[in-house]
Structure 1
């Protein structure tokens, strides 16, 4: 997987495309569950188990069993196998490259960083006052006037989109356009918008790390594969970190420490922003970035050497690993 700045642009394109797909999939009947009809619609076609026909005696027990196997159990197993197979090899690739929620997390993080110097309200200290490329990174509290309305706009957009996965999109959008939603539609949109606004404002990466079942399953599968793709840090080059303001730490949307051991990178989304930041800092270093993707034998070696770190802090819950540096000082 490329780790240059071009890769980050490609990732944004993937995220943008998938976000658009998330919004318009119900509109074009690509995928939605219609409560009014009581069944899935996939690529414009009804996806049913034939329960009504079975209850009416039009299909046999054997046919109903076959329908359950082919239309329910087999698709679920196939999709799960593909999804978890990707996670086993590449980790939370879906989260970092496709997930529409994570794209919202990153967008609001950037605005909050510009407003306060911190990507999250829960960060104790602001990041460096300059970018990895050396350009200044000033803060301006006026960005709050953009961050909060944008969080609300995303919340409303998500609430409406989620409703279209359950009710005919034409009906939902027509009612909104004429400001005549039904009582249930208004309650759903109002409640969902409120919850999502609070989550986008206060929880963002915390939801991804601790509450998202999709991300959790990917991480669990990824952790079982010791040779899976992971961010590697060469211990012998720890000297090159001297003078750096831990840009890789501040670049991580999940607020992780990229130079730590794999088990403390449990929620890594493989977005590669830490690698891009390090690459920018080390742009004049002939040996290149200190952080790089590794897998296979290199990942096995890193796992055996505790993530290429010589030592780990005795209080790992604080997520502050100590790197034994050949420079004669520890790097946090």
Structure 2
């Protein structure tokens, strides 16, 4: 008898929930955060006062963005104790637990850049060229230097995160113009440009969350069929190569500080190569 090679079985069709669960959870998280801020001006329920830069929840829980605090300190404005406590809480949460998840799960600009990325893939738009990834770290240093020279937290006057929240709450042509500018930048100028190459706030959270507990792992990388879908959707595709391909003896964990724990790779992978886990889990197929 002549042996007949059987074609590999196609992976079973996944449910809509498994294909979109982390996208839906991320959008729910982002909308919930915005809703808490909107309840005050829109419904008179001031459960959370302030904005994403600095807030007070239920009158007892202060939260301060560490990058904003760093600008204030560089500008030689000493912060109040509540601001320092709020920054310490944020540093502990992102630094020890979830890493750069702020960019994927909280930042409202994430939805704007996701929309631009989806349109690029949908209409196969390949124009444009992204700047070097190191630019965001250079801008981070430049922002702090500018604050020290001017005595002002200068980035906050142009920060798309602040302006997006302001546009949603108060409106205003300038605020909405900043949102549109980020969208057009990612759509027409630089693929994955803003979050992956430019945003100094994202650079700050990358540094803060370089060794978090939460990690994504290519634990089942032996299942990879080289479809490239994960690279297409990941805002930082360069971080997938070593864990997925085991280059230079690399383990399956995505250790790069640029990972925003967005779960896009988990959602899109038809063979379920990726999963959320912790930094001490080095198991693989």
TM-score normalised to structure 2 length: 0.55
Any conservation in 2 of the 1:232–1:291 contact (CA below 8 Å)?
yes
Do residues 12 (structure 1) and 3 (structure 2) align? Answer: no
User: Counterpart of 1:148?
Assistant: none
C-alpha separation in 2, matches of 1:90 and 1:43: 21
C-alpha separation in 2, matches of 1:106 and 1:32: 26
Question: Structure 2: 5+ residue runs without aligned partners?
Answer: 1-16, 60-76, 131-159, 244-252
C-alpha separation in 1, matches of 2:178 and 2:92: 32
User: Counterpart of 1:270?
Assistant: 261
User: Counterpart of 1:77?
Assistant: 84
Any conservation in 2 of the 1:232–1:259 contact (CA below 8 Å)?
no
C-alpha separation in 1, matches of 2:164 and 2:94: 30
Do residues 252 (structure 1) and 234 (structure 2) align? Answer: yes
TM superposition shift of 1:209:
3.1
User: Counterpart of 2:273?
Assistant: 290
Go from structure 1 to structure 2 and tell me whether the alpha carbon gap of 1:85 and 1:111 turns closer, same or farther (over 3 Å shift). Answer: same
Question: Structure 1: 5+ residue runs without aligned partners?
Answer: 34-39, 46-67, 124-155, 177-188, 283-288, 303-307, 309-325, 327-332
Higher relative contact order (CA 8 A, sep 6+): 2
SS at match of 2:182: helix
TM-score normalised to structure 1 length: 0.48
Go from structure 1 to structure 2 and tell me whether the alpha carbon gap of 1:86 and 1:250 turns closer, same or farther (over 3 Å shift). Answer: same
RMSD, matched Cα: 4.2
Query: What CA deviation, in whole Å up to 9, does each residue of 1:202-251 have, x standing for no partner?
Result: 1484332344343222211222x2x63222224xx54422x432111112
Any conservation in 2 of the 1:18–1:99 contact (CA below 8 Å)?
no
User: Counterpart of 2:113?
Assistant: 105
In the TM superposition, 1:126-141 aligns within 5 A as none
Any conservation in 1 of the 2:103–2:110 contact (CA below 8 Å)?
yes
Go from structure 1 to structure 2 and tell me whether the alpha carbon gap of 1:267 and 1:85 turns closer, same or farther (over 3 Å shift). Answer: same
Number of paired residues? 203
SS at match of 1:253: coil
- Aligned pair partner of 1:231 in 216, 222, 231: 216
C-alpha separation in 2, matches of 1:206 and 1:264: 22
User: Counterpart of 2:166?
Assistant: 162
Larger radius of gyration: 1
C-alpha separation in 1, matches of 2:198 and 2:30: 21
